[in-house]
């Protein structure tokens, strides 16, 4: 990713990347100066530069015909992301060895019992990455897989305890909180 | 919105847009059955058209049995076609005028290595009346009893138990459809879903005991036996 290479050249050590992966159902945005475009992915990069916490947003979009792909990098904003970067650095090995397991639940029918896999049609899918000076690792997370139960408690996610204890999930939660606090400050037009 | 589909249990929800990498691998096989590409779905599409034709002619009970191995295939010595590699088969069983017939639709690579060749066999008389009758009598149970995924238990951190889906990309995908009058059911599953474990020391498939007592699995065994016994006699 060019943005990460560019940050590396500026001397950035650790970068946490948080991206949604809506590439199968692009969203139409109106972006100032660009007009109506189809956004396939939004990505946030958290890092520290000259002692200050920063976040940059990258928008992966195509023209309104969907023929040519572009990346728009918005001006970085200051943010207090020390805890996220510290946690990500300290848990890099744990993060590397983890994965989020699918939503599996016990199903009972006519006295028979089996294990079934539940998927959700409208859930978003997220990618989380940690880039240290020497290494990088990417993981995926479907928010549906980190839910405790579904259908008003009728079915319980047997993988909830493990999934919610992973560093992948913790980084996902921390990044989401940070994004909530700054999302409005990124000015690029109307969704 | 929740969009239920019948597979791997009673409630499963699917969308390609949200799949994590593991899920996506799983979903690719399901797609192979339905919408991967024109050539690969030839046998299923053509079988579907044949089934519609049979239904319009008043045929009441039809069984469809499909199998596919993405990126691989089955080598077959055919008297008419020579040595071919078949990527996808769809068999259709039906009864008309007191006789039971089988047709086979397939996508294959020919002996010259040309991919995407297709063939439809002539209807062949087979002794499958009992199977069609059994499927018709048991369609309610078949609807209720899909084959569930091959799910294994692990302790990735040595403490917490997790459940994961075992799904090698090259596994054989199976599709069985039963159509009786206006009732119909289709189940997609894989060869691995019906195995106890994937290697001698591999963890137990937690759905194995459930899967092998389902009516769907029993029908699958009968379909396997019949199609294997007649595959060299089919004519194109």
Partner-chain residue, chosen from B14, B157, B206, that has the shortest CB–CB distance to A121: B14
Nearest to B115 by CA among B77, B76, B71: B71
Domain boundaries, chain B: 4-230
Task: Please tell me the pTM assigned to this model.
Answer: 0.77
pLDDT range class, residue B35, cuts 50, 70, 90 = very low
A100 chain-B contacts, CB cut-off 8 A: 20
In this complex, the residue of B1, B21, B144 whose CB is nearest that of residue A140 is B21
Report pLDDT for A123. 62
**In the prediction, which pLDDT does B152 show?**
96
Average pLDDT value for residue range B81-98: 92
In this prediction, residue B77 has a pLDDT band, given cuts at 50, 70 and 90, of: confident
pLDDT of A73 > 60? The answer is yes
How high is the pLDDT of residue A129?
A: 96
- Of A110, A99, A121, A127, the closest CA to residue B163 belongs to A99
Q: What is the 3-state secondary structure (H, E, C) of chain A?
A: CHHHHHHHHCCCCCEEEEEECCCCCCEEEEECCCEEEEEEEEEEEEEEECCEEEEEEEEEEECCCCCCEEEEECCCEECCCHHHHHHHHHCHHHHHHCCCCCCEEEEEECCEEEEEECCCCCCCCEEEEEECCCCEEEEEECHHHHCCEECCCCEECCCHHHHCCCHHHHHHHHHHHHHHHHHHHCCCEEC
Taking only the tens place, the pLDDT of each residue in A24-56 is 566 777 777 777 888 888 899 999 999 999 999
Among B13, B19, B206, select the one facing A118 at the smallest CB separation.
Answer: B13
Q: Do A114 and B210 count as a contact with CB atoms less than 8 A apart?
A: yes
Asked if the Cβ–Cβ distance from B11 to A155 is below 8 Å, we say yes
pLDDT at position B25, please? 45
Residue A190: band (very low, low, confident or very high) from pLDDT cuts 50, 70, 90: very low
How many Å lie between the alpha carbon of B210 and the closest alpha carbon of chain A?
6
pLDDT at A54: 96
| Residue B17, pLDDT above cutoff 60 | no
**Contact call for A99 and B18, based on CB within 8 A:** no
DSSP letter assigned to residue B213: T
Give residue B41's pLDDT band: very low, low, confident or very high (50, 70, 90): low
Neighbouring CB atoms inside 10 A of B142's CB total 24
B72 band by pLDDT with thresholds 50, 70 and 90: confident
**Residue A5 near chain B (CB below 8 Å):** no
User: Rounded to a whole number, what is the distance in Å from the CA of B59 to chain A's nearest CA?
Assistant: 32
pLDDT at A131 over 80: yes
- Report which of residues A153 and B208 the model is more confident about: B208
Show which of residues 8-27 on chain A sit within 8 Å of chain B, judged by CB atoms: 22, 24-25
Give the pLDDT mean for B134-143: 94
* Structure-model confidence comparison of residues B23 and A68, the more confident one: A68
Q: Do B18 and A114 touch (CB under 8 A)?
A: no
Specify the higher pLDDT residue, B35 or B194.
B194
Q: What is the rounded average pLDDT of the residues A150-167?
A: 91
Contact A59, A71 (CB under 8 A): yes
Q: Which of residues 83-122 of A touch B (CB under 8 A)?
A: 97-102, 104, 107, 109-110, 112-122
The least confident of A160-169, B5-14, B50-59, B68-77 is B5-14
Which residues on adjacent β-strands are paired with residue A60?
A41, A71
Check pLDDT > 90 for residue A83: yes
Using the predicted structure, report yes or no on whether residue B31 has a pLDDT greater than 50: no
**Measured distance between the N- and C-terminal CA atoms of chain A, rounded to whole angstroms:** 25
For A:33-92, CB contacts with B below 8 A are none
| pLDDT tens sequence across A92-102 | 999 999 999 99
Highest mean pLDDT among A55-69, B32-46, B216-230: B216-230
Say whether the ipTM exceeds 0.85: no
The confidence score (pLDDT) of residue A24 equals 55
Name which of A101, A109, A121 is nearest B3 (Cβ-Cβ). Answer: A121
Is the pLDDT confidence value at B46 over 70?
yes
List all residues 6 or more positions away from A128 whose beta carbon is below 8 Å from its beta carbon: A16, A17, A18, A19, A138, A139, A140, A141, A168, A171, A172, A175
Between A58-67, A125-134, B72-81, B181-190, the lowest mean confidence (pLDDT) is in A58-67
Q: Which of B3, B16, B19, B20 to mutate to test the interface with A (most CBs of A within 10 A)?
A: B20
Chain B residues in contact with A145 (beta carbon < 8 A): 20
What average pLDDT does the segment B166-194 reach? 91
Q: Is the pLDDT of residue B207 over 70?
A: yes
Instruction: Give pLDDT tens digits for B93-135.
Output: 999 988 999 999 998 999 888 988 889 999 999 999 999 999 9
Q: Where are the alpha helices (DSSP H) in chain B?
A: 21-34, 42-56, 129-137, 139-144, 208-212, 215-230
Distance, C-alpha B197 to centroid of its chain = 20
With the C-alpha atoms ordered B92, B93, B95, B96, is the resulting torsion angle positive or negative?
Answer: positive
Q: Which residues pair with B174 in a beta bridge?
A: B67, B189
**Strand, coil or helix: what is B58?**
coil
Chain A's closest residue to B3, CA to CA, is A121
Q: What is the end-to-end Cα distance of chain B in Å, rounded? A: 46
**Which residue reads 């309104």 in tokens?**
A64
Rounded to a whole number of angstroms, the CA Rg of chain B reads: 18
Interchain CB contact of B77 with A (< 8 Å): no
The answer to whether the CB atoms of A25 and B17 lie below 8 A apart is yes
Task: List, in sequence order, every residue forming a beta bridge with A72; answer none if it has no partner.
Answer: A59
- What whole-number percentage of chain B has pLDDT above 90? 54
- Mean confidence (pLDDT) of chain B: 82
Tokens encoding B218: 């029993």
What's the DSSP call for residue B144? Answer: H
Closest partner residue to B151 (CB to CB) among A115, A121, A140 is A115
Nearest Cβ partner for B144 among A110, A121, A155:
A110
Alpha-carbon dihedral sign for residues B130, B132, B136, B139? positive
């Amino acid at each position: 990713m060019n943005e990460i290479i560019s940050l590396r050249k500026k001397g950035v050590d650790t970068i946490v990347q948080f991206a949604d992966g809506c590439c199968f159902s692009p969203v139409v945005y109106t972006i100032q100066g660009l007009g109506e475009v189809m956004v396939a992915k939004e990505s946030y990069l958290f890092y520290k530069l000259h002692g200050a916490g920063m976040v940059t947003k990258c928008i992966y979009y195509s023209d309104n015909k969907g023929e040519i792909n572009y990346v728009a990098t918005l001006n970085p904003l200051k943010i207090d992301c020390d805890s996220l970067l510290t946690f990500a650095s300290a848990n890099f090995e744990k993060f590397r060895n983890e994965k989020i397991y699918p939503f599996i639940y016990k199903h009972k029918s006519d006295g028979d019992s089996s294990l079934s896999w539940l998927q959700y049609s409208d859930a978003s899918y997220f990618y989380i990455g940690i880039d240290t000076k020497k290494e990088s690792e990417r993981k995926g997370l479907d928010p549906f897989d980190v839910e405790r139960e579904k259908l008003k408690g009728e079915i319980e996610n047997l993988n909830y305890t493990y999934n919610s204890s992973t560093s992948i999930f913790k980084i996902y939660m921390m990044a989401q909180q940070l994004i909530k606090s700054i999302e409005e400050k990124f000015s690029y037009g109307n969704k | 919105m929740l969009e239920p589909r019948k597979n791997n249990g009673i409630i499963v929800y699917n969308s390609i847009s949200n799949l994590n990498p593991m899920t996506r691998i799983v979903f690719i096989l399901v797609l192979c059955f339905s919408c991967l590409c024109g050539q690969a779905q030839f046998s299923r599409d053509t079988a579907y058209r044949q089934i519609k034709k049979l239904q319009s002619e008043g045929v009441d009970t039809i069984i469809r049995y499909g199998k596919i191995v993405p990126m691989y295939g089955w080598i077959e010595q055919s008297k008419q076609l020579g040595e071919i590699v078949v990527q996808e088969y769809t068999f259709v069983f039906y009864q008309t005028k007191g006789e039971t017939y089988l047709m086979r639709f397939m996508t294959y690579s020919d002996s010259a290595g040309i991919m995407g060749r297709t063939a439809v066999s002539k209807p062949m008389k087979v002794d499958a009346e009992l199977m069609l009758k059994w499927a018709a009598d048991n369609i309610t149970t078949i609807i209720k009893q899909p084959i569930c995924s091959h799910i294994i238990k692990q302790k990735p951190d040595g403490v917490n138990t997790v459940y994961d889906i075992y799904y090698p990309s090259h596994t054989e995908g199976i599709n069985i459809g039963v159509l009786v009058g206006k009732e119909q059911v289709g189940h997609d599953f894989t060869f691995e879903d019906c195995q106890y474990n994937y290697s001698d020391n591999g963890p137990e498939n937690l759905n194995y005991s459930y899967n092998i007592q389902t009516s769907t699995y029993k029908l699958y065994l009968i379909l396997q036996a019949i199609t294997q016994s007649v595959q060299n006699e089919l004519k194109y």
